[in-house]
A and B are shown apart, each in its own frame.
Chain A
């Protein structure tokens, strides 16, 4: 019995030592590269330039983190339905991918406070349809993105039939092709899209709902990294970095970013 207990204690302590040494910050520094999961189809928060490089507000934020750590950066494009899994599996060290902060997500990944951004849900629809309120969507096919949390709400509360695609390119194409009456998505992205000349006949007609904060995330248990990210987010708000990036990428300063800047400055 005694030997068994002793063996168990040894195993447990060995495990805790290996867990302690495998701090992700050390791994990143050793590797010399920070691997960040960002969106690649979400203009202007994370998208591809003509050479295929990932650029946008979130990649810029990620670069700040890499600079702080003094390492190179590598981007891994993620989509809503796989971003948390990538983090769990260790394919990425850090995820900044327009993710809404939800309690059930906090059980799967570690989201440091405070939130760095915020947005709500709205739809992009042809002007000719003349949508006035969310109820107008009842019974109509509405494009969406697989894995977005508001799909369920849009179909459950407002009775829309969600037609969900893997990426935004397919969804925009399906909307243009007339396969759906509207495209339900984050208002921040829709504002940018509706401003493009190609989408002049489309509008964002509804009241934004579910205004919710975004959270960047690290893998569960990486408390040191999370602490560092918390400090960084506060720094971003304090220095007005978020507002500055919004302006740089052509987004009107959002009330959330302004409020956070006022709070921390």
Chain B
């Protein structure tokens, strides 16, 4: 491994192509940390945004007027405002209003740090889109199917969980894919509130080494591969869930 690192140092000396995150241990460690933070943030947001989508779509079909209104206000609020503004809003506006806790260095710090706010904000942001995506799937399930389930004595929750949702899921997967791909890319915005993800670490490295071009090329490729892995996973899932004769 050392030899590979040294090769990149030589590459820099010989050609001027500077990739310090490969040969410099400090820069390498922070780039790896950045990669893992991006993956962690993406996974957390993917998980919660899908949960929000599923629950939101279910609540939207509720027979209570106020529940439906609440969900629609949530969607309007989070879908119609830029995610960067939401991040700043949560971190700088809401974050400072919440009570503070004693931290281990003897000061007072807010309950949620920048990573937590990024996870919350981006989950809600993508969740708002997911609610609409799931709704489109639910509405695509034929009414007769639901009626048949009702006739068989299924409860409302059972119908949603066992009949509507599994069918809806297959319909919405392509649209869901799109939104989740977007979500992974949107995690780069978290660097505005100093979440040490890939873009943030790359920015630190290019500021220290003045190698903007190389870092930009690397970032583009890194996200291309990262999102590529997600897409291929989702496609595989889509194929595995396929029901012959449906959709």
- A contacts, CB < 8 Å to B: 80-81, 84-85, 104-105, 107-108, 126, 128-129, 139-140, 143, 146-149, 151-152, 156, 162-166, 170, 173-174, 176-179, 181
Contact = CB atoms under 8 A, between A and B. Distances in A.
B210 interface: yes
A42 B100 CA distance: 29
Contacts of A181: 105, 107
6 contacts: A105-B210, A128-B107, A163-B114, A164-B204, A177-B92, A181-B105
B210 A84 contact: yes
Contacts of B95: 177, 179
Contacts of A108: 210
A179 B208 contact: no
Contacts of A128: 107
Contacts of B103: 178
Contact of A177 (B26, B96, B192): B96
Contacts of A85: 212
Contacts, number: 68
B106 interface: yes
Interface string B189-219: 0001110000010011011111010000000
Nearest to A147: B207
Is chain B's interface secondary structure helix, strand, loop, or mixed overall? helix
A106 to B, nearest CB: 10
A179 B210 contact: no
B233 interface: no
Interface of B: 26, 92, 95-96, 100, 103, 105-110, 113-114, 192-194, 200, 203-204, 206-210, 212
Contacts of B110: 177-179
B192 A80 contact: no
Contacts of B212: 85
Nearest to A81: B207
Given A163-B114, A174-B194, 9 more contacts: A104-B209, A139-B105, A140-B105, A146-B203, A152-B26, A170-B92, A176-B96, A178-B103, A179-B113
A226 B113 CA distance: 46
Contacts of B208: 149, 151-152
Nearest to B16: A107
A242 B129 CA distance: 56
Contacts of B106: 129
A105 B114 CA distance: 31
Contacts of A129: 105-107
B79 to A, nearest CB: 26
A139 B203 CA distance: 22
